């Protein structure tokens, strides 16, 4: 009996060290393969911030904003990262998605080409091949870009090129133009030097919100506190990474193989620029402005059409953001 008593006490002590309930399993599907712009999520996870809030986070590699929007919109993943214009397209098709926090306050969408290929600007695009993945946001939004640039939407040919094969495809002349995020700009400058030509969409007057944190609408209704915790932890992590990116990139590189540290450091400098606007520096880091969202909605409606029109204010909320956390513009290189 004495032995049983000791054994029982030991079991009780062990049981007392185990949390009364495991964290809520939560999936975050990225827009693409993990890179520097996703490092805050890896950092917050490594720090145990999500876990302390009762969130057992899994980070899933994505295959484009179109894919992540549809997976979140169908309830296949509660949270995701997606280009906001692409998310609006998905919502018009019935996807139940809501934007919670902007990551790229400025569009990261950029086209790159080699001048030696005979392309010197957007007017030379017709008749050329553009390489990018099928689910890429720039391909989804191409009709808007083409019309804003004054060229026919069907004047180019799209070639399926994986995210990591874009530079090789351009170098080998498999394609004449590639689309990519501005945060990868330096890698192309290093590779091609003065032969590189580029155009960010903002330069032709298209500056829709870029990558943002999105949530399934029904999930948000059922789990408002968890969603708020998730947003605020992520917001806190982005602010911490703006202050000092080194531990954030370490957390990323510890979990994701095949990434070059120096390239990720260069990327982060570009990402800080993309995160910064008049609202993220004064309202809250991650702020989504209602007027800009209306313009993005009109952009999608004008150039792509809405299968089922909806009130744009139903597609986003800033109510979960911590307004005490703001983007630190002093950390952005001019």
Provide the pLDDT for residue 117.
87
Which residues, 6+ apart, have CB-to-CB distance to 308 below 8 Å?
A: 92, 93, 94
Dihedrals phi, psi of 69, to nearest 5 degrees: -60, -45
Locus of tokens 């510890």: 254
Q: Closest Cα to residue 106, out of 203, 38, 39, 230?
A: 203
pLDDT tens per residue across span 310-326: 999 999 999 999 999 99
| Ramachandran quadrant class, 173 (left: phi over 0; alpha: psi -120 to 50; beta: rest) | left
Question: pLDDT-derived band of residue 260, with 50, 70 and 90 as boundaries?
Answer: very high
pLDDT tens per residue across span 261-274: 999 999 999 999 99
Provide the pLDDT for residue 279.
97
Provide the pLDDT for residue 267.
94
Provide the pLDDT for residue 144.
87
The SS3 of residue 182 is helix
Higher pLDDT, 236 or 139: 236
pTM: 0.84
| Across 143-155, average pLDDT | 93
Provide the pLDDT for residue 15.
40
The answer to whether residue 78 scores a pLDDT higher than 80 is yes
Q: Closest Cα to residue 324, out of 235, 250, 197?
A: 235
Locus of tokens 């003065």: 194
Which of 20-29, 127-136, 148-157 is modeled with the greatest confidence?
148-157
Asked if 289 contacts 313 with a C-beta cutoff of 8 angstroms, the reply is no
User: What domains sit in the chain, N to C, each tagged with a CATH number?
Assistant: 23-105+209-331 (3.40.190.10), 109-204 (3.40.190.10)
Which residues, 6+ apart, have CB-to-CB distance to 182 below 8 Å?
A: 108, 109, 110, 200, 270, 273, 274
Residue 33 DSSP class:
S
Provide the pLDDT for residue 334.
62
Query: How many CB atoms sit inside 10 A of residue 299's CB?
Result: 19
What is the Cα 284 distance to its own chain's centre? 18
């Amino acid at each position: 009996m004495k032995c049983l008593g000791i054994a029982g006490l030991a079991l009780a002590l062990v049981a007392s060290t185990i949390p009364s309930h495991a964290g809520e399993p939560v999936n975050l599907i990225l827009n693409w393969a993990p890179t520097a712009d996703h490092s805050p999520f890896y950092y917050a996870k490594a720090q145990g911030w999500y876990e302390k809030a009762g969130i057992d986070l899994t980070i899933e590699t994505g295959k484009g904003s179109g894919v992540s929007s549809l997976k979140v919109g169908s309830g296949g993943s509660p949270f995701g990262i997606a280009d906001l214009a692409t998310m609006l397209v998905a919502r018009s098709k019935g996807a139940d998605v809501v934007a919670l926090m902007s990551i790229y306050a400025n569009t990261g969408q950029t086209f790159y080409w080699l001048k030696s290929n005979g392309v010197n600007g957007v007017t030379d695009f017709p008749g050329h091949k553009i390489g990018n993945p099928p689910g890429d946001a720039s391909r989804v939004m191409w009709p808007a870009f083409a019309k804003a640039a004054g060229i026919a939407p069907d004047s180019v040919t799209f070639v399926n090129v994986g995210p990591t094969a874009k530079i090789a495809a351009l170098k080998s002349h498999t394609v004449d133009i590639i689309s990519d995020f501005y945060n990868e700009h330096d890698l192309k400058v290093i590779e091609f030097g003065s032969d590189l030509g580029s155009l960010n969409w903002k330069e032709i007057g298209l500056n829709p919100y870029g990558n943002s944190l999105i949530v399934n609408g029904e999930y948000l209704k059922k789990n408002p506190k968890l969603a708020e915790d998730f947003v605020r932890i992520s917001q806190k992590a982005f602010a911490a990474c703006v202050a000092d990116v080194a531990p954030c990139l370490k957390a990323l590189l510890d979990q994701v193989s095949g990434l070059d540290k120096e390239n990720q450091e260069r990327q982060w400098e570009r990402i800080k620029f993309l995160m910064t606007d008049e609202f993220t520096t004064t309202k809250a880091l991650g702020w989504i402005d209602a007027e800009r969202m209306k313009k993005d909605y009109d952009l999608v409606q004008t150039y792509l059409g809405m299968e089922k029109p909806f009130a744009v204010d139903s597609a986003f909320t800033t109510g979960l953001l911590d307004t005490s956390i703001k983007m630190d513009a002093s950390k952005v290189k001019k």
